[in-house]
Amino acid sequence: MQGILADILEPIMGKGLVPADLDTWKKRRKAIAPAFHVMYLEAMIKIFIGCTRRTMVKFEELFHGDNLSEGQFIEVDLEAEFSSLALDIIGLGVFNYDFRSVTKESPIIKALYGTLSEAEHRSTFYVAYWKLPFAKYIVPRQRKFHSDIKLINDCLDTLISNAKETRQEADVKKLQDTDYGILKDASLLRFLVDVRGEDVDDVQLRDDLMTLLIAGHETTSAVLTWTIFLLAHHPSKMRKAQAEIDAVLQSSELNFESLKNLEYIRLSVVEALRLYPQPPLLIRRSLRPDILPGGLTGDKNGYSIPAGTEICLSVYNLHRCHYFWDRPHEFEPERFLRPKKSEVEGWAGFDPQRSPGALYPNEIISDFAFLPFGGGPRKCLGDQFALMESTIALALLLHRFDVELRDPPESMEAVTGATIHTKDGLWCKLRKRRPNAMNR
């Protein structure tokens, strides 16, 4: 069971997948999991590309507006830009709704960011003062939060109502075999509304969508931020990444097949997730009494865990533990190509061949030493969506621009909450790349 974090997020996500009780979670996961099928993910690539190009046009306009000559640069907070990009992608991919947050700010976008801020606040604040009677009436922050939630819920209710008005019921197999590339609406909401036998009420559907919105937005924005930070911090690795991108895009369009050839970019994204996992902490609540193993340095008799115990797992520390990783604090995307024998009792070691055909390294090849999206039944459903989205956005951005950190990397301060983000943004210098550099 998800634990205290679920209690905190329930007012925001309702009975969505993250905070749901066990029975609700089983039903909703069974309904939502089939929606993330291969045809859907392939169709989403067009959305990933379209939204990223919109961001790049914004950067081009900044160059044009400042009348900058070749070799000059613009300064951009890429963390903020990635946040807008991720929101637009989630809007189109999940709801078939274009927030256009890259180019404008509307009341619904302000409400969304306000809600995301409140989710972050509640996950890091020790006293749940928002549960106090009348808090939503007397605490300005809580008054704003409830106003934001109402605005978002009204928007989602309208989208759900519109989708149901055009419902075309079909079984899961038929929906998964549909050519999503030609559909006007290939969103996840469309799938959930159309699937036969899933007559879920509007409130539950809204909770599902809110959960996907918050989880999907926060994860991707953070992944893009830290991948760019790490590549820019290591110029030789940035050049290697750009050389791979140039070679792939010179010979083919960016699609599901060419994505397979962007190995170094994919591994860079995964390595960024190892160093800056999203979320950095997993919380579970035990449903029954149990005994957990003591591990390598703990009590050999294990630890007795009563029912209802909150169990916190630091993914951040796990991903930087020298028992499982060579040079654990170094940014080395290539590490995921090499097997590593276990020197720890109970750990099977690292073997890339353990999950053949996987586009991205996962918890299976690492025997759960790598948990960027959790593991087991509660693993994040949208992992491939987030990874593919990040890969494509990075490929397009780095093909067109050179990126350099504005400030020394050691000045970067990370802030940990539900995700790991920066304290003051990721300010970078962007320069247009010369055509001969892109085609060499």
- In 41-80 the beta strands, taken as DSSP E runs, fall at 73-77
Q: Measured between alpha carbons, how far is 85 from 440 in angstroms, rounded to an integer? A: 29
Q: How far apart are CA 388 and CA 38, in angstroms?
A: 12
> Cα–Cα distances in Å, from 194 out to 84, 159, 167, 176, 211?
29, 14, 5, 11, 20
Contacts 24+ apart (CB under 8 A), 165-173: 167/193, 167/194, 168/194, 169/194, 169/195, 169/196, 170/194, 170/195, 170/196, 171/195, 171/196, 171/197, 172/34, 172/196
155 marked ligand binding residue: no
Orientation angle between helical segments 107-124 and 140-165, nearest 10 degrees = 120
Residue with tokens 């865990």: 305
Beta carbons of 223 and 131 less than 8 angstroms apart: no
Q: What type of residue is 91?
A: G
Whole-angstrom Cα distance, residue 323 to residue 349?
A: 10
SS3 content of the chain, % helix, strand, coil (to 5): 55, 10, 35
- Give the span between the Cα atoms of 225 and 221, in whole angstroms: 6
CA dist 42 and 270 (Å) reads 20
Q: What are the phi and psi torsion angles at 74 (to 5°)?
A: -110, 155
- Bind-site residues: 380
- Bind-site residues for heme: 380
